[in-house]
Amino acid sequence: KRTYVVSGSASGIGAATAALLRDRGGRVIGVDLRDADVVADLSSAEGRTAAVVEVRALTDAVHGVVPCAGVAGLTGVDPALVVSVNYFGALALVRGLHAELAAAGGAGVVLLASNSVTCQPGWAGDVADLCLAGDEDAARAAATATEAVQVYPATKAALAWWARREGVGADWAGAGIRVNAVAPGLIATPMTDRLRADPELGVFADSYPTAIGRPGRPEEVAATIGFLLSDAASLVVGSVLYVDGGTDAMLHPRVP
Ligand code: NAI
């Protein structure tokens, strides 16, 4: 039986991913602020350590880690919280379970990037660079100087860059751990319900372009994550896969 660790498992894409992996016969250890096997706050160093310790107490081998826990850059959200949960919280879980992933003898990590990286102009490049450099204090300080809406894509860019840079290295690909990322577009979850209700940003949810004429469903993102974790994706390493109903292709038809 394969064991998977999914954060953000109480809601949206994380819940759909946990359900899909369980349906396929896997064991899922969910991590979230509530309603999870491991209840932990991934925004803080203490919470991340507690999460990793508790997961390690439950299993010796982990076949996949999917850090879905995330915070949207909505009006009134602390931009520093977006940095800490989306980037540092996600990678703390992945890094903290490296030994268990290596012990599985073939494992996968799927990071949650976003097509906001390519589809939303003007985001905070300095925050992305500081995330990738691993400097949480500096990234939080830089984030606080801007707006949460421009910090969110920065955290997602840094995750995609990390998947590409580190995913091909000796620690990950070399240890039989395939690291990839998905870049979803607008997916109908509690997160985007809150986007629709946002007094300033809600208008963007209503005018969001897709080739298929509708937002995505969390199950559609989960299906892609399930593929990337499966043996069928054995050649897919360090990739960032758009799962967005065509939005990125509509905006950038000539980008490879
Ligand atoms: P959601 O808001 O429905 O679920 C997020 C989950 O993360 C919640 O259960 C929440 O409790 C948990 N969480 C938040 N802060 C946490 C913390 N400090 N510690 C532990 N858990 C925490 O969000 P959704 O839509 O399912 O998003 C999942 C991931 O997919 C996020 O990383 C998001 O940025 C990403 N994504 C979502 C898109 C969308 O349109 N919904 C598009 C692109 C990416």
**Residue 225, ligand 1, Cβ within 6 A:** no
Write the pLDDT tens digit of every residue in 198-254: 999 999 898 899 999 999 999 999 999 999 999 999 999 999 999 999 999 999 999
Q: Is residue 50 part of a domain?
A: yes
Our answer on whether the CB atom of 70 is closer than 6 Å to any ligand 1 atom is yes
Strand segments (E) across the chain: 3-7, 27-32, 38-39, 64-67, 107-112, 177-184, 240-243
Instruction: Please tell me the distance between residue 44's alpha carbon and the centre of ligand 1 in angstroms.
Output: 16
The residue whose C-alpha atom lies closest to atom 31 belonging to ligand 1 is: 70
Question: Are β-strands 38-39 and 64-67 bridged in parallel, bridged antiparallel, or unpaired?
Answer: unpaired
pLDDT digits (tens, 9 = 90+) for 143-152: 999 999 999 9
With the most atoms of ligand 1 within 8 angstroms of its CB, the residue from 32, 123, 182, 242 to mutate is 32
Would you say the ipTM is above 0.90?
Answer: yes
Confirm or reject: Cβ of 84 under 6 Å from ligand 1. Answer: no
Q: What is the CATH number of the domain that holds 102?
A: 3.40.50.720
Identify the domain containing residue 43 by its residue range.
Answer: 3-251
Q: Is the CB of 69 under 6 A from ligand 1?
A: yes
Domain count, the chain: 1
In-domain check, residue 256: no
230 is a domain residue: yes
